[in-house]
Chains A and B, each alone.
Chain A
Amino acid sequence: MKTESKLQKLLDSGHFAVTAEIGPPKHASAHGIRHHAHMLKNYVDATNITDCQTAIVRLSSIAAAVHIRDCGLEPIVQMTCRDRNRIAIQSDLLGAYSLGIRNLLCLSGDHQKFGNEPSAKNVYDIDSIQLIYLMRRMRDEKLFFSGEPIKEHEPRFFIGAVANPFADPFEFRVARLEKKVEAGAEFIQTQCIFDMERFERFMEMVRERGIHERVHILAGVTPLKSWRAAKYLQTSVSGMIVPDDIVERLKKAEDPKREGIEICIEQIKHIRNIPGVHGVHIMAIAWEEVVPEIVERSGLYPRPKVE
């Protein structure tokens, strides 16, 4: 089922896609995200806009996506199940589509315990797999979540989901990815990969089940600024695996930032050769300015043009 998503056209025509991530600010100005959008627009095919990541109150992902689209960069709106019930999710997504948003990424969302409103009520009316299923049904069968028909102008999103090969139980991760594909996900972005061996094992299981032929998998990477950042991800973020040799390499480096970029480029070059991977998702957290260099030096520039 075709949508107006440029990302979908690119992936469906067999190109190796490049997506990035822009985190909206903790204030009401779009100046910074517009700056990042202009910087990234010729280097990536689309960019995720996070939805109050780590449960910190930030400018709305849909509003940020409109700013970014206005700058000529295709946004992927992230929608978590943490903050909105099914009424709010549908309403916001109808609105997002009306504003020209064409890509949607469905996630559970980080628990509010991590953010700046730990006493907030968590919603989780539906979970990420149900969200994928319901949005796909809304598009293909023209039905609201309740089953009520949408008479006209149903939102036609290119629907994505996430997969975390580094969470547990490992054996079930590929099965759950398959469940997301069954539910209707058309592209998958993975958690940042540092443990390449584990990711390769994951992809092997993906290929055994033929999942890579049913969905576009974009491998997640994150350039690290320092060994402390690596150590933090290693010890304090649940569902992350950072091997010690990456921490050590950054520790020994004369210029850790440079080293972080080098590691990221090596990872991308490696990932490009893993069968079944259809793209790379670069999450340069609060370090968006390094993305053009990473893309260029990974041999992914210029980006292909699609109609």
Chain B
Amino acid sequence: MIRFGPGNLRIPEFQKPVFAVAGGLTDFRKRYPEKNSCELTMDAMRMAVEENNLKVSPEEFRRKVNWCVYSQFADHFGDQLLAAAKIHDYLGFDPLGNIEVKTGGATGGSSVLSACQAVASGYADCVPVVGWERMDEVTTKVGNSYIASAACKDFESELGWMYAAYYALMAKRYQLENEVPHETLAKIAVKNREYARHTPFSQNPGKYTVEDILKNEMVSDPLTFLECCVMSVGAAVLILCDEKVAYELSDNPVQITACCGGTHTLRTADRRHMPILLLPNETEETYKNYFSGDRQDWPGFSSFLAARMAAYLAYHMAGIKDPVKDLDILETHDAFTISDIQTYEDIGLRPYGHGREFIESGEAFFEGALPTNLSGGLIGSMHAVGATGIFQLVEVLWQLQNKWGQFHEPEGLWTRYGKTKPDDFRNLQVEGAKRGCAISHAGTGSHVTCTIMEKV
């Protein structure tokens, strides 16, 4: 049982406002032997500085930077310790200080949090956050065992060496407690792969039906291959500044009004029952009849306390009362269809037990109340782990800057990555989007960050 003391739920504060001015991505691929990790981060950095309408040249930008944050999930995959030093040098930032952040799948989100802390405290005023992962130097099966090294190696990894299996255990329990139809889960996979068709950056776009997903081969019952995220190679860059530098660089910076993190046990097994931590849009009444029948535990295997904790802090910090109403765009860490449904509840889009309604109502879709994962997400577009949380925020930034078209529509971008724009290409810019959110997530919910961005 976790009992919060008075200090535990303190709402974080930024001493100075933090702004995002630019973002850059590579495309994401299963294998990318043409470029090494240094080159990939350079491509993402170039896009951030040269293609975001900044008012400076790369050389002038480099002269403004005073701290860097690097984001790579696994030295196992990169097979290069201190890779950040190599990349920092390659990007021309020596001898400035830097830090490399590691929190599993949430490494990208935590790196942005670290950069926010640097800017908000006044330690730095211009900070590139650089994320990458190269997962193509081992077979997929070895890759899966590397990833499963991020489960508990004493008590859990040996049981399959496969993260999807650890999520499948949660999925089964969620289905028992909440009766979510497999069709609803499949709709998430269909949706995100569909949106991935309209972005030149995506690795696994495709037109699928719910039937295709359901009939697909099992990885670990009930999760099919098409319900699991991709394994990618690629990079992402987000540039954070204080207010003064933000406006020197850009005419339309976006403010980061909250960036907060939560955690929970690496082993799902160790999650003891506790009272539900309520979000601003919930009361005791919301869960009056929650614990009944098979539902006796919270967070149990159906919910992520880390996500609830991150959302609790971020919503209070950014003044979010009702996320579906107050947010215009959302990127979730859709590593698996089931974890997406669980996350909808953890971040208060629906009360616990009702996550399916967020998909079934159409709210999660483009032109719905809160379009979610228009980027294609981890299922459709990418999961180059260290880049993922940054990729999400780059996509949110462009939406809030009304630049989605600029970075997804031009034929030149599609040909840059050797792709053909589909004939039925759709512009997925959310009209008038003012406030966005991204959830970065590790383990079976060991670390989660929640970042809120707002148009100024």
Partners in one complex: no
Residues of A within 8 A of B (CB): none
